[in-house]
Amino acid sequence: MKSRLGIFLSVGVVCVLAGYAAGDTLVTKEGRSFQGRLVKRNSAEVVFEIHQYGAVLTRTFKASEVQSIKEGPLQAPKTRPAPTSKPKDAALAPEPDAPPVVKYDKPTYYVIPFEGTIGTHITAGYFDRAIKDAEKRKPDVIVIVADSPGGLVVEVEKIVAVFQKHNKQARIVVYVRQALSACAIACMASKEIYFEPRGIFGAATAYKRNALNMPTAIAEKFQSVWRAIARSAAEVGGHNPLLAEAMIDRNMELSVVSLGKDKVEVRVGHGGRSITTKGKLLTLTASEAVKAGLAKGTAANLADLGEKLGFKGWTECKGHATLLSKHAKKALTGYEKRVEKLTIEFNRCVARALKSHPDKPQVNYKYYTHNGLFTPESRRRWQNRTRECVTWLVKAEKCLEEMAKLATVRKDQQTSVDMLNKVRDAVRSDRLEFARKMYKRGPDD
């Protein structure tokens, strides 16, 4: 339990709570009371289902231990009704409509902003919708303007899949202002990359941003998966995979070797012009990206980019993507503030749950030597700590339940919802495990 609770600080969880309305009540001669359902009763024993915190524990009492049983109709489990309206803080303004399709008498480009964080402002769903909107308008070039500090690793693989799906049907060019971490890896799936003169690219920092937007150190297993995603992105875009790996692995040393006629090769180790050394993640400036063969060139602005691509005097093909991007930045302001508050409250609840953990080594319990069970005082102490721990977990779940609702009402946020749901099962399992133990004689009963 302790180790899994530690994980909850770095992942998002949400649980819809259910509880059983008390039907029967059993009272022991010790004065303890249990609510639930009487299963069986005879002269030797009483079998009783205890309902608590959504958990069901079947326990057998000796008939001599039972003071009384008051029977009553067991009501059906109570479940929270589906929300009839959006959470107040999640209410988003309606998305803007797509502008009408216009025919142009000159070359055109369609802008898809990659602005903000991957997984929040930039998602695979948004990217796919933008590409499809662009295909209706038939621009000469789709230009992705990258200006992002990074974001969710799990979203990158989905974005790369969108690149792979559309690279053959459309000419997609990435124009880099700032593409760091997850954004850098995602953009490597484009076959053509150009830089603003002061653009920077790389530093795919070795941590992931989860649904709660909290950075956490990651294990080598995750590092290995992340490197594989990075290599795949580079291969989709036709770039050297070593560049992608060096943006993640700070132990790599890369050099660029000239092969003549503007051809270069990136190699591990020395032997050419060094672009990164051990202890540093690869981060490229515009000129370095060109020299390393990642970028085809630099452009002062989009007009200049058009000239470099052979479309002098081109004009922007107005589309839905720029409107969606502006809408997201404005609409997500309240969302992000609310999630931040819920994250703080969630962390507080988890910290309190850890503090009241009934099996902490520093909590000394007393046992009977002849049967290994708790003394009555220790049993009450263990049960009280368990009850408190479960109570704080329930409060934590309520915070996360609201986070899931906030993510659900937004479009293109399936990754965040999936992450919340994935860990929900883990925290629910722990909560129910404690609830089942709460009325036992001891931790091993």
Q: Based on the domain organization, do 192 and 63 belong to the same domain?
A: no
Q: Based on the domain organization, do 11 and 31 belong to the same domain?
A: no
Residue 336 placed within a domain = no
Q: Based on the domain organization, do 190 and 285 belong to the same domain?
A: yes
Residue ending a domain, among 318, 338, 354, is 318
* Separation between Cα atoms, residue 301 and residue 315, nearest integer Å: 13
* Residue 111: predicted pLDDT: 98
Q: Based on the domain organization, do 35 and 47 belong to the same domain?
A: yes
Q: Based on the domain organization, do 156 and 275 belong to the same domain?
A: yes
Q: Based on the domain organization, do 154 and 179 belong to the same domain?
A: yes
Count CA atoms closer than 13 A to 46's CA, side-chain side.
Answer: 22
Q: Based on the domain organization, do 350 and 445 belong to the same domain?
A: yes
Which residue, among 192, 142, 168, has the nearest Cα to 314 in the 3D structure? 142
pLDDT tens track of the chain, all 445 residues?
A: 333 443 333 332 222 223 334 578 888 888 778 888 888 999 999 998 877 655 567 788 899 999 999 887 655 444 444 444 444 444 456 788 999 999 999 999 999 999 988 888 899 999 999 999 999 999 999 999 999 998 888 889 999 999 999 999 999 999 999 999 999 999 999 999 999 999 999 988 655 444 444 444 445 556 788 889 999 999 999 999 999 999 998 889 999 998 877 788 888 887 788 988 888 899 999 999 999 999 999 999 999 999 999 999 999 999 999 999 998 888 777 777 787 788 788 888 888 888 888 877 777 878 777 777 778 888 788 878 888 888 888 888 888 778 777 766 555 555 566 666 665 666 667 666 666 665 555 544 5
* Separation between Cα atoms, residue 401 and residue 15, nearest integer Å: 6
Which residue, among 117, 175, 142, 153, has the nearest Cα to 232 in the 3D structure? 153
* Residue 7: predicted pLDDT: 33
Q: Based on the domain organization, do 288 and 383 belong to the same domain?
A: no
Residue 38 placed within a domain = yes
Q: Based on the domain organization, do 285 and 366 belong to the same domain?
A: no
438 with 380: CB under 8 angstroms? no
Q: What is the pTM of this model?
A: 0.64
Q: Based on the domain organization, do 26 and 69 belong to the same domain?
A: yes
The CATH number linked to 118 is: 3.90.226.10
Q: Which two tokens stand for residue 234?
A: 């580079």
The CATH number linked to 60 is: 2.30.30.100
Distances (CA, A) of 199 to 93, 147, 203, 256, 295: 33, 9, 13, 20, 11
Which residue range forms the structural domain that includes residue 415?
A: 1-16+346-445
Residue 337 placed within a domain = no
* Residue 369: predicted pLDDT: 76
* Residue 16: predicted pLDDT: 26
115 with 325: CB under 8 angstroms? yes
* Residue 419: predicted pLDDT: 65
Contacts of 97 (CB under 8 A, 6+ apart): none
